[in-house]
Each structure stands twice: as structure tokens, then as C-alpha cells.
Chains A and B, each alone.
Chain A
Amino acid sequence: MTMADKLTDIAKNMQKVYDAGYAAGAETGGGGTGSYDEGYADGKRDEYGAFWDVYQDCGNRQDYQTAFRGVGWTADTFRPTYDIATTGFVTSLFRGSRIAVDLVKHLNELGVTLDLSQSRGVVEAFMDSQFTRIGSVDVSSAASLQNLFNGAMAETIDELILKNDGTNTFSNTFSGCTALKNLTIKGVIGQNGFNVSACKELSRASIESIVAALSDEAGTEEVALEAFSSIVSGNGSDVTVTHEGDGVFKINGTDTVGDWFYIMEHFELGAGTYRMDATDSSKGLSMPFFVFTNDGISIEMLPLKEQGKESGSVTFTVPEGGGYMELLLETNSETFNNDIVTLKLIQYKEGASFSVTLSETAVESAFTDEEWTALKATKPNWNFVLA
């Protein structure tokens, strides 16, 4: 055979040689049955799992400061394999990330959860993030919410769970959140600085949720309810009402005549704005409530609590010169067995200033003037700024 013939044969057999070598290689390489691509994917998965094992300390990681910060984090790269439940800090957790998905859906698909409820520091956690929806964010263990959602592009934050004592502080928490439409607040807003003026498309329900969360106690002080006259039956029933002190009354006996009791008579008040809260364990009582000026002119007659309800509340203003209030309990032919009525009188401190700032556009889109006035009136201790 000439050299030229040999070269021709080699060229013809080259593919056979390659195939035989590939088969032998695959066999000696562990007997893999899949293709090269499948093997590559297997290897990649192992490597990926190893990365998250290390990155999340096999689920034991507690401190997630800046963990997913920056443009390198996308829906393709943010694929944790362990629940993120931290007791430490999550400062700048997702700041500037490019994970442009529904975070709730994404985590559900990965089978993991995100729980910040024990995190002590959440500053800037979602700042400049690109999630379309952020689920429930529990910040009830954190103090400052500075820049928490500043610049975030989410349309929906399912829940923002605040502390119940109103001590979370706000600073640019929602600045630049121009896409935000849906926000539910749980817990209490009790500090200045809550500002959603950037959220021009915020829904009516979201605004109602914010107003409802505004602390009723901010800028108030409780007035001691001690000065009561003796409590006697007005119609002679067998019901007895006793004052246990501090606005707590105990009620016993059976009423067959439709009785009434003066439980507060000529209780003097200085000028100012007040709120009276009442509870009634029996739910059976009516509580007509009267406010007079000192010269005996009736200012208001309000139903503090209606029959069938467990609680009630009235807000009223006593003008310059002062006045007094009177309160009746009306029974409605019921039997009472150690039922309890509690009263609490709150005075709004003069000049106290707590402000919440909302988008004028959002408010005007969601409410009529009358509706907005009525909603604001539920929080007389707050200034409402429309910007």
C-alpha cells in the first residue's frame, strides 16, 4: 500500500476511531449513560448545590448583610436552596439587585421561604430592588426602617408588619417607590416620617390600611377617671353597678324594667380634644354620652357604645372655658353576672404634631373630599400632609 492509499484509509476511518474512543472513554469514565450535555448539567448542579451549601451555611446562616446586593443577582443567579430565616442583620439584603420577578412566586418555585421577623437590622434591605412583588415583610424586631424600600420597583408589598408599640422609625422608607400600588400595614405607625408621597398610584385599600395603622396613642395622655358620684338605679331594678376604680365597673343582677344609671356626673374637663373609649363584656348596654360647657350648654350628645357591640369610642372637643361630661349606662332587660365595663379617657396633647405624608394624586384618585375628611377624622392626633 502506498503512502497515499494509507492516508486515504485513515481519512475514511477517522470517524470510526473517534466513535470507538468516545465509547471507551465514556465506559472508563464511570459508565455514564447520558450525553455529554446531561453529564455537564449534572456536574453543574453539584457545583451549584455546593455553592449554596457554603453560601447559606447549609441553612444555618444568620447574618445576610448585603448577601444578594448588586447587579449580579438576577432571577437566574438568586436560587437559594435553604430557607432564609435570620436573627441577625439583613442590611442592604437585596439592594440594587436585578431580580425582576415576583419574589413570592420565585421563592415558592424554589421551595424556600424568606422570614425577616427576627432580624434586628433591616435598613436598605429592598432598596433599589427590581422585584415586581414583595411578599410579607415582617420588621417587628427591627427599629429603623431607613431606606427599606427606597427606589424599589415593586407594585405590591403584600404586608409590612410593624411593631405593635409603634416604635419603628421611618426615614425615606418609601422614597422613589413610584410603582407601588398595593401595601397593607400591620402593627402600628407611631413615629413621624412615614411618607408614601412618591406612590402616586397607591390604592384606596392601601391608604385606608395606612390610616388605620396610625397610632391612636401618639401625642395623647390618659386622664384619670376617679371622680364619680354614687351609682344608683334610675328605675329601681335589681341591677347593681359598682366602680372598681380606674374606670372599671362591675355589673350584676337582673333588670326587668329597662333601667339606667348615671355612672359619671359632672366630670369636669379643661379645654381640649379628647377621646373616650368604652368596652362592655355583656354587649347588652347602651351608653349615651353628653358633653356640656361650664354654663350648662350642651355641646354634644353621642352614643359612646351601642347595644350589641363590645366596644365604642367618641372624640369630642371642649372649648375655651372648659366644660363637663356625663355618662349613662342603659340596661335593656338583661341579666348581668360580673360583667365588666371599662372606660378610658384620652386627651390629645396641645400642639402635639405627628405627621404622615401621602401622595395628593393618590388620595384624590381614591377618595371624594367627604370620604377623605371622614377618614382623617378617625385620627385627630395626626397631621395629614398631601405632597
Chain B
Amino acid sequence: MTQRITLYADEGRILTDGEHFGKVVTLSAGGDPSRWYEVSEEEYRERVAKIET
């Protein structure tokens, strides 16, 4: 059996590992959940806008 960890962001928050963003993140087998942290939606929008310019 392969064990997988799924992280869910709290209401109004977005998960990120610094590179990717999402409300729901399913880690790869053996993936490290400590790499993921929450940011506010405002910070998320700012970061995405920065990436895309």
C-alpha cells in the first residue's frame, strides 16, 4: 500500500512550496510536507503577478 499525504489550505489561505500554489496538494510518496506552507490570498496574487511579469 502506498501512503500519500494530502494538504488542505485553510479558508482564505493558499498552500505553496515557493514555486507552486494550490488549495489542495497531494504529496508524492515520501514527499516532505514541511516544504509547504500557507500564504494569504493577497500574497498569493502578488506572487503570481510577480512571476507572470
**Hey, which bits of chain A sit against chain B, CB under 8 A?**
172, 175, 192-193, 195, 197, 219, 272-273, 299-300, 315-317, 348-355, 357, 360, 376-377, 380-387
Chain A nearest Cβ from B6, distance in angstroms:
9
Given A352-B28, A381-B28, A384-B26, do A300 and B1 touch, yes or no (CB 8 Å)?
A: yes
Closest partner residue, chain B, to A315 (CB atom): B2
Q: Are A175 and B24 in contact (CB under 8 A)?
A: no
Q: Are B3 and A355 in contact (CB under 8 A)?
A: no
Chain B residues with CB under 8 Å of A175's CB are: 52
Q: Are B2 and A385 in contact (CB under 8 A)?
A: no
Given A172-B51, A273-B2, A317-B1, do A380 and B22 touch, yes or no (CB 8 Å)?
A: no
> How far apart sit A350 and B20, CA to CA, in the bound complex (Å)?
19
**Hey, which bits of chain B sit against chain A, CB under 8 A?**
1-4, 14-15, 17, 19-32, 35, 51-52
> How far apart sit A282 and B3, CA to CA, in the bound complex (Å)?
34
Q: Are B25 and A385 in contact (CB under 8 A)?
A: yes
Instruction: With a 10 A CB-CB cut-off, give which of B14, B27, B30 has the most chain A CB atoms.
Output: B30
Closest partner residue, chain B, to A377 (CB atom): B2
> How far apart sit A357 and B14, CA to CA, in the bound complex (Å)?
13
Chain A nearest Cβ from B35, distance in angstroms:
7
Given A348-B28, A351-B32, do A385 and B3 touch, yes or no (CB 8 Å)?
A: no
Q: Are B26 and A353 in contact (CB under 8 A)?
A: no
In the A-B complex, the 7 residue pairs with the smallest Cβ-Cβ separation, listed nearest first, are A385-B22, A273-B29, A380-B29, A387-B22, A386-B24, A384-B26, A355-B20
> How far apart sit A276 and B14, CA to CA, in the bound complex (Å)?
36
Chain A residues with CB under 8 Å of B21's CB are: 357, 385, 387
Chain A residues with CB under 8 Å of B3's CB are: 317
Given A172-B52, A175-B52, do A383 and B30 touch, yes or no (CB 8 Å)?
A: no
> How far apart sit A200 and B34, CA to CA, in the bound complex (Å)?
29
Q: Are A272 and B27 in contact (CB under 8 A)?
A: no
Q: Are A380 and B32 in contact (CB under 8 A)?
A: no
Given A172-B51, A360-B22, A385-B20, do A353 and B28 touch, yes or no (CB 8 Å)?
A: yes
B31 CB contact (under 8 Å) in A300, A353, A376, A386: A353
Chain A nearest Cβ from B53, distance in angstroms:
10
A-B contact pairs, 16 of them (CB 8 A): A300-B1, A315-B29, A317-B3, A348-B29, A350-B30, A353-B28, A353-B31, A355-B20, A357-B22, A376-B26, A377-B2, A386-B22, A386-B24, A387-B20, A387-B21, A387-B23
Chain B residues with CB under 8 Å of A193's CB are: 19
> How far apart sit A315 and B2, CA to CA, in the bound complex (Å)?
7
A383 CB contact (under 8 Å) in B1, B23, B31: B31
Chain A residues with CB under 8 Å of B23's CB are: 360, 386-387
Chain A residues with CB under 8 Å of B30's CB are: 272-273, 348-352
Chain A nearest Cβ from B27, distance in angstroms:
5
Q: Are A384 and B1 in contact (CB under 8 A)?
A: no
> How far apart sit A118 and B5, CA to CA, in the bound complex (Å)?
41
Chain A residues with CB under 8 Å of B19's CB are: 192-193, 355
Instruction: With a 10 A CB-CB cut-off, give which of A192, A197, A355 has the most chain B CB atoms.
Output: A355
